[in-house]
Amino acid sequence: MALEQDCRGPGSIGTALMSADGTITLTISTPGQEGAAAYHRGDPQYARILSHVGGLHPGERKPVPPFC
């Protein structure tokens, strides 16, 4: 899968973790806000999230750059 162009700001707003089945879980923590969201293969936003974090492999964890 080719990575799509995406807008990334500097720094990190949380972490992304890919599970063995390819699900991407974002854990976001910004001043005054915390949350988590899971994106499964087939989700309309899956490719965008994968591109935004710069690609992931099962078991890999990466920082999530801010969206701009």
pTM (predicted TM-score): 0.83
pLDDT score, position 6? 62
Q: Quick one: pLDDT at residue 57?
A: 97
Give the phi and the psi of residue 39 in degrees, each rounded to 5.
Answer: -120, 115
pLDDT of residue 3: 45
18 CB-contact burial (10 Å; exposed 0-12 / middle 13-18 / buried 19+) = buried
Q: Mind listing the pLDDT tens digit of every residue in the chain (68 residues)?
A: 444 456 777 788 999 999 999 999 999 988 888 999 999 999 999 999 999 999 999 999 999 998 87
